[in-house]
A and B are shown apart, each in its own frame.
Chain A
Amino acid sequence: MQHYNMNLTLKVWRQRNNKVKGHFETFQVKNISSEMSFLEMFDVLNEQLVAEGKDPIAFDHDCREGICGMCSMHINGRSHGPWDQTTTCQLHMREYKDGDTIVVEPWRANAFPVIRDLVVDRSSFDRIIAAGGYVSVNTGNAVDANALPIEKQKADESFAAASCIGCGACVAACPNASAMLFVSAKIAHLALLPQGDPERKVRAVNMVQQMDTEGFGSCTNIGACEAECPKGISLENIARLNREYVGAVFSGSPRG
C-alpha cells in the first residue's frame, strides 16, 4: 500500500480534573504519515503544543503493543477507533485521509471519572478484582503441564476469557455503562479452572456486589461491548456469569 502524508483536524476533549467541566478544543496537525499509530499522531500534536508553550493533551498509554489496555480513547464514536479487535495504540493512521476531522473523547461513565483530558480513573475495575477476582490460596510455582488435567474445551474457554486486558472499552461502549463483559470474563476465566472452582460462588456474589457499588449500569443485553472489545470477549461469558450468579445465590447463600 502506498504511504502518504495527511493534514487533519482534531477535536479533543480537554478537562483539567473531575471537579470542573470539560470542553472540546480544535487542533490542526500537519504531515501525519499513514504509517504512524494513532498515539504517535498524538505525540506529534503534543510536541507541537509544547513548542508553542501550551499544555499537552494528557492521555493514557503504556505498552503500545495492544496488550496492556491503557490507551483509552473514544474516537469518532467508537471505543479504540473503528477497527475491530484493536486497541488505540494499534490503530494506524492509514485509516484516515487528508482533510479528515477526528473527534476524540475520554471513556465516559460515572464509574470512570476523568482525571485529566483523555485520562480516566479505572480503579473501580481494580476494586472489583480485589473483591474476588483471584484464587486465595498460594499455589506455588507453576506445576508440570499435565499434572492437573483440564478438559480441552474448558481450558480453551478459560483462556479466551483470560485474554481480557481490563481496558474498559466494554463500559465505554455500553449505552448503560455496564461492566458486565469485564466482570463476566474474570468470572469465567476462574470458574472454569480447578484452581478457581472452590471459591466460585463467593467470588460471583462479591464481584457483582462491588460492580454495583461502583456505579456501573445494569446489562440489558445490547451487545455493544462485544462489538468493541479489543480481545473479542464473547457475550457467552455474560450468560455464564448470569448462571454462576443465580447458582451462587440460590444454593447456600455464601457470605459476601
Chain B
Amino acid sequence: MNWKNYFTTSIGKKILVGATGLFLILFLVVHCYVNAMIFWCDGGKHFTEAAAFMGGNVAVRILEIGLFLGLGLHIIQGLMLWSQNAARRSVRYEVSAGNKTSKWYSRSMGLLGTLILLFLILHLFHFWAPNRYGQAFDAGWKEEDLYEKMMVVFTPMWVVIVYLLGCFSLAWHLMHGFYSGFQTFGLATNRYKGIIRSVGVAFAILIPLIFASMPVYMHFMANSHP
C-alpha cells in the first residue's frame, strides 16, 4: 500500500471528491464576489473592470485550467461513486426508511450534481465560451462586455428560470457537500461539527441566493432599459 494506489481505495475516492469539492467551494466564493459587482448600479462599470482583470490575467487563466481539472475530477469521481455504490445492493428493499434516517439531499448528490452539470453546460455556452472565443479571434485578448451580454442572455424569461433551477440544485448540493467535505478530511469532530454544519447551511443558502438574484436583476434591468 502506498499513496499511488491510495486514490483507488474507498477512502481515497471520497478524499478526491471532497478535496475537489472544497476547491470548487472556494471558486464559488470568488465567482460570486466578482459577479455581485453588477449590483453597484453603475451600469456595470465596477463589474466590467473586475471581469477584465479576471479575464485578462495570466495567473487567473492558469488557475482556470486547474479549475476545469478539479471540476472534471469531481464530476467523474462523483458519478463513478454514484454508480459503483448503487451496485453494492443488487436486491433493493421493499420498504425503505426514506427521510426518517437521512436527508433526501444527502442521498441525491449524484442527481443534484447531474442537474448542476446540465446547467453548467448551458452556462459555459452562454458566457465562458463566447468570451474566450471572442478574446482569441475578434477582440485581441480583450474581455467582451459581459454586462451587456448578461442583459441579452437574461432577456427571455425561460433562461432566468433555468438559471434559478441551477441555483436551486446548487443550494441542495452544497447543503450536503459543505459539511461532507470537512467530514471526509476528518475535521468534523464532536467539537467542530456543530459550527461546520451551521456555516455549511448558511453558505448553501447565501451563495446560491446571491447567484439567483443575478439573472433576475439583469432580466429587469434589460427590460427596463430597452
Contact = CB atoms under 8 A, between A and B. Distances in A.
Considering residues A77, A212, A249, which has the most beta carbons from chain B within 10 angstroms of its beta carbon? A249
Given A108-B93, A224-B97, A255-B1, A178 B10 contact: yes
Interface stretch (B101-109, B137-145, B154-162): B101-109
A212 B94 CA distance: 26
15 contacts: A11-B94, A77-B93, A109-B88, A110-B90, A176-B85, A178-B88, A205-B1, A212-B10, A218-B84, A219-B10, A220-B180, A222-B106, A227-B102, A239-B189, A243-B185
Interface stretch (A28-36, A39-47, A60-68, A230-238): A230-238
B88 A249 contact: no
A238 B91 contact: no
B165 to A, nearest CB: 23
Contact of B188 (A111, A173, A228, A236): A236
Interface in B68-126: 81, 84-85, 87-98, 100-103, 106-107, 109
Nearest to B188: A239
Contacts of B91: 22, 108
A108 B1 CA distance: 30
B95 A105 contact: yes
A205 B3 CA distance: 11
A86 to B, nearest CB: 14
A56 interface: no
A249 B179 contact: no
Name which of B14, B95, B100, B106 has the most chain A CB atoms within 10 A of its CB: B95
A74 to B, nearest CB: 6
Interface residues of A, number: 55
A187 to B, nearest CB: 11
A209 interface: yes
Contact of A222 (B1, B84, B88, B102): B102
A3 B62 CA distance: 73
B4 to A, nearest CB: 9
A151 to B, nearest CB: 15
B151 interface: no
Interface string B186-211: 11111001000000000000000000
Given A209-B1, A235-B183, A173 B97 contact: yes
Given A108-B91, A218-B10, A256 B1 contact: yes
A191 B183 CA distance: 19
Interface of B: 1-3, 6, 9-15, 81, 84-85, 87-98, 100-103, 106-107, 109, 176, 179-180, 183-190, 193
Contacts of A253: 1-3
Nearest to A218: B10
A13 B3 CA distance: 44
Given A77-B93, A110-B89, A173-B101, A221 B9 contact: no
B107 A175 contact: yes
Given A108-B92, A242-B15, A227 B85 contact: no
Contacts of A255: 1
A103 interface: yes
Contacts of A222: 102-103, 106-107
A114 to B, nearest CB: 8
Given A221-B176, A221-B180, A223-B102, A243 B186 contact: yes
A175 B15 contact: no
Contacts of A215: 88
B1 A249 contact: yes
A251 B1 CA distance: 12
A238 B182 CA distance: 12
A208 B10 contact: yes
